[in-house]
Amino acid sequence: MSALKTEKERGGGQSRSLVPRQWIERWRIYHPVEEHKLDSIADLLRTEDVILDLEVVSKTQLFEEIGQHMEGMHGMPQAWIVLSLSRREQVGSTGLGEGVAIPHARIKDLYRIQLAYVRLKSPLPFAAPDGKPVSDIFVLLVPKEATEAHLGILAEATRMFSNQRFRERLHLCKQPLEVKQLFTTWSLLE
């Protein structure tokens, strides 16, 4: 199933429409006990989107590989992914430091958040604040409308990757399923 909206879904008819933000806000006011829960990384990251020991020599090649993966697995046009991630990176580096980068972008016609974790075989310069090259790449692709979810996942990913024990355990994972399980149980490491 493609992660992109179809014409039918964008235009009307029997569509998979997103819940309007106004409705969610109104719902919160009338039902303050029952908060709208945003999806977590553990809910959104799929085992098939964990790529270990990828060999690339540049950010451009990395973004092309990510785009190729997203196109093959989720039907997202590679060119859109590469262009969106590259444009975001031109605004400022998404390198956090400690060998971690979180490239992220808004993608037109995407109807659900797509995540990927990529561990590079050899670290790559990424203009991180500490000057260290990056080997842990957490990719976040969001629909244009997903502002609150986008910021929530960025914050969660930043907390995760700021945790030294999490990063150490992540580097010990040999299989995608182990990585997925670590993302699911990371809060136990805090």
Residues carrying an active site annotation: 104
11 class by beta-carbon count within 10 Å (0-12 exposed, 13-18 middle, 19+ buried):
exposed
Residues, the chain: 190
Instruction: Give the pair of three-digit tokens for residue 95.
Output: 């390198």
In sequence order, what DSSP letters do the residues of 113-148 get, joined into one string? -EEEEEEEEEEE----TT---EEEEEEEEEETT-HH
Query: Are the CB atoms for 134 and 124 separated by under 8 Å?
Result: yes
CB neighbours of 46 closer than 8 A, spacing ≥ 6? Answer: 115, 180
